[in-house]
Structure 1
Amino acid sequence: MSKYLLLLVLPVLLIACKEKKVSLATNDEKVNISDFLEFFQSMKLPYQATDTILKRREPETSVINGRLFARFVPDSVIGKLFGKEGHLHLYAIGKVGVPDAEKYVFVKATAGSRRALILLVFDKKDHFAAARPVIYADNESGVSGQVTMDARYTVTVQHQRKASDGQLFYHRDAYIYNGDAGLMLILTESNESKPKIVPVYNPIDTLARKHKFSGDYAQDKRNIVAIRDGRDASRFQFFVHFEKNDGTCKGELKGEAKFIGPGVARYRAYSDPCAIEFTFIPEGVSLKELGGCGVHRDIKCFFEGYFERRKSPKPAHGAGGRQAHR
């Protein structure tokens, strides 16, 4: 009898052991990226969180060791928010997975009075792909935040505040994940009377510019094309940002293009239907959209036009960091 009972109980024990998740509370070297992602509880869409989550007490079982976290997520993700402030605490909130594609992971981070809910994105190969703080503590009285992810994996971040006269102001940004551009801003709405002008940052500015066409091209401070060296002489890295119709129509794209002839190159990625042709002359570069770029821009504008080459700035002796286009 005991023999048959053992045969019945053993499979149950094996299944239970198999389903038991590893702990992320210590920097266990045996924990790999698959274990890390598996640790997060799956969430159903639509998902919504408000800034009350920043004040919520998280269970000890959700703790993530800081050093273990840094093995899978770049230091800059936390550094930009908390700097060198000590006593950082990290908690696993949940995840949303796209079948055979990327995974969205929500992590809560606290350090002293600073608190944030951070969205991390890992691609289909479980490589870190993007990050963005979606809710954060604000010292300004009356500011509240909210994040929503809908069934189409669009992430909407909204912050609102009440003015002294009782009027409610809001600012809403919507993002989608794109393999080449990361978390890409696709919509901004606000009823603020004086909206802030967001600076245009060049994410590839620090890359090498030894190729004869590498450099910065621009129409003005908010319409730029940055070209940097690629893996070999037949390719180059690029970043394009444009704003047309008084800023109501915008586009942005980062990727790698390949030369198809003298001074002519094309961007066409396996995972992206967008195609752009670059035509270089010594004085500048012309862009022509060949189709399929709607996900990278607003509806009524295109990746097109002529951008004049700018003189390369002389590097300051001993200076570091990256430059920005403002």
Structure 2
Amino acid sequence: MYLNYRAILVLLLFSLFGCKEKKKQMLDTEKVEVSDFIEFFPDLKLPYQLADTGLLRKSPDSLRIGNRIFSQFVPDSVLRPVFGKTGKPRLFPLGKSVVKDGETYLFIKAEQGARRAGYILVFNEEKFVTSMPAVQVNGTPKPNDHSVANFDSKYTITTLRQKTAGDGQVTYSKKVYVYNTAGVFTLILTESNDQETATKKIINPIDTLSSTHKLAGDYLQGARNIVSFRNGKSSGSLYFFIHFEKDGGDCRGELKGEARLTGANSARFTEGNGPCVIDFTFSGNTVRMKEVEGCGSYRDIKCFFEGSYTRKKKTTSSGRKKK
């Protein structure tokens, strides 16, 4: 009889322990509090590294966070720059790190189609404060081009991108961020050995196309920022090329495509297999560019396709000399 009592006691203890450890599921049909949401993320041991290849690993459906649950605690604007206004990526927790008497960092994976991103979310006193996409992937990472984000024991975030050329030379671009008391991520260091990229001439791939349309031409903003337009394949479209460099070259973007004319002085680019949407508004000798939906695959994290550009005067030939 004594043994039976001991067995029953052990079973009760295991049962109580199991109930205590079981986390609430993040299904959209469940009622979830912010404390449940944060607790759903497993604890991380720092330093923590997230690589682009790591985003390709399949996550169990049992760990999926419902989109309604996510938007209950995190603004929709967090996902929009990468997945667009209507994007509904699948969300999975990667881990969390809690600062004693301070903020909580949540690492989450978002995926939709071939597009994936690893985000860092910051909560303070169980309230969302800010976020940043640390690593992005569109398709399968190339063998010679890899990105990784490191989160160290001092809560410093380092993003690193390495490219290997055909001759074996490795170039890199590193950026270091910290979260500050103002509630934002601050870029504190940039470092790169890619001197060729910093100094090479910008090649306009549509430069030789016809430019008879009234809106066609090269619109500039400084020496290394250009929005170029040429005749499209139909009268209702324009080919375009964009290249910009901001913050002393630390934030770059480049995109080529075809924009549909939406009015006498306006055009819109809509990516065929992604969320990227850009509006162009022409007025006199200027064009204003605005990123409407997420074009994060074509630019760095902290900059956007936006701003006003002034049209460069077309050069005219002198014609034949009179006899």
User: Which residue of 2 is the match for residue 162 of structure 1?
Assistant: 164
The answer to whether the 8 Å contact 2:67/2:88 transfers is no
Say whether the 8 Å CA contact 1:54–1:115 is kept in structure 2: yes
1:163 Cα shift? 3.4
**Bigger Rg, which one:** 2
Relative distance call for 1:4 and 1:160 in structure 2 (3 A) is: closer
SS of structure 2 residue aligned to 1:137: strand
How many residues are paired up? 206
1:43 counterpart residue number: 44
1:126 matched to which residue of 2?
Answer: 126
The code of the aligned residue for 1:137 comes to V
Taking a change above 3 Å as real, the CA distance of residues 16 and 181 of structure 1, as seen in their structure-2 partners, is closer
User: Match of 1:56?
Assistant: 57
1:87–1:112: 8 Å Cα contact kept in structure 2?
no
Structure 2 partner of 1:186: 188
* CA apart distance, 1:6: 3.7
Q: Which amino acid aligns with 1:175?
A: Y
The structural deviation recorded for 1:98 is 1.0
Residues 1:95 and 2:104 aligned together: no
**1:14 Cα deviation from its structure 2 partner:** 2.0
The alpha-carbon distance between structure 1 residues 128 and 104, as it changes in their structure 2 partners (threshold 3 A), is: same
Q: CA deviation at 1:180?
A: 0.5
Give per-residue Cα distances to partners, 1:235-265, cap 9 Å, x unaligned: xxxxxxxxxxx969xxxxxxxxxxxxxxxxx
Distance 1:122 1:79 in 2: 19
Q: Root-mean-square deviation (CA), in Å?
A: 3.1
User: Tell me, what secondary structure is at the counterpart of 1:48?
Assistant: strand
Q: Aligned equivalents of 2:118 and 2:70: distance in 1?
A: 15
Who is 1:116 aligned against?
A: 117
> Does 1 or 2 have the higher relative contact order (CA < 8 Å, sep 6+)?
2
Tell me which residue corresponds to 1:78: 79
Give the TM-score taking structure 2 as reference length.
Answer: 0.57
Map of 1:217 onto structure 2: none
Checking the alignment, whether the CA contact within 8 Å between 2:161 and 2:172 is kept in structure 1 is yes
1:129-278 equivalences in 2 (<5 Å)? 129-138=129-138, 141=142, 142-193=144-195, 194-195=197-198
The separation in 2 between residues aligned to 1:5 and 1:177, in whole angstroms, is 51
- In the TM superposition, 1:11-26 aligns within 5 A as 11-24=13-26, 26=27
Distance, in Å, in 2 between the alignment partners of 1:89 and 1:38 is 19
Report the Cα distance in structure 2 between the residues aligned to 1:177 and 1:116, rounded to whole angstroms. Answer: 20
Tell which deviates more after alignment, 107-116 or 11-20: 11-20
The answer for the alignment partner of 2:210 in structure 1 is none
How big is each residue's C-alpha offset from its partner over 1:198-251, in whole Å with a ceiling of 9 and x where there is no partner? xxxxxxxxxxxxxxxxxxxxxxx9xxxxxxxxxxxxxxxxxxxxxxxx969xxx
Cα contact 2:114–2:138 (8 A) shared by 1: no
Which residue number in structure 2 is paired with residue 306 of structure 1? none
Return the offset for 1:165. Answer: 4.6
SS in 1 for 2:132: strand
Aligned equivalents of 1:82, 1:36: Cα separation in 2: 22
Where does the alignment leave 5 or more consecutive residues of structure 2 unmatched? 200-221, 223-246, 250-289, 293-303, 309-323
Counterpart Cα distance in 2 of 1:247 and 1:30: 47
Alpha-carbon spacing, 1:73–1:13, altered in 2? closer, same or farther (3 Å):
same
Specify the SS of the correspondent of 1:64.
Answer: coil
Percent identity over the alignment is: 40
Greater shift after overlay, 139-148 or 30-39? 139-148
Could you say which residue in structure 1 is the equivalent of 2:216? none
Deviation at 1:12, TM superposition (A): 3.2
For 1:176, give the aligned amino acid. V
Matched-pair contact (CA < 8 Å) for 2:291–2:306? no
For the residues of structure 1 that align with 2:305 and 2:191, how far apart are their CA atoms?
28
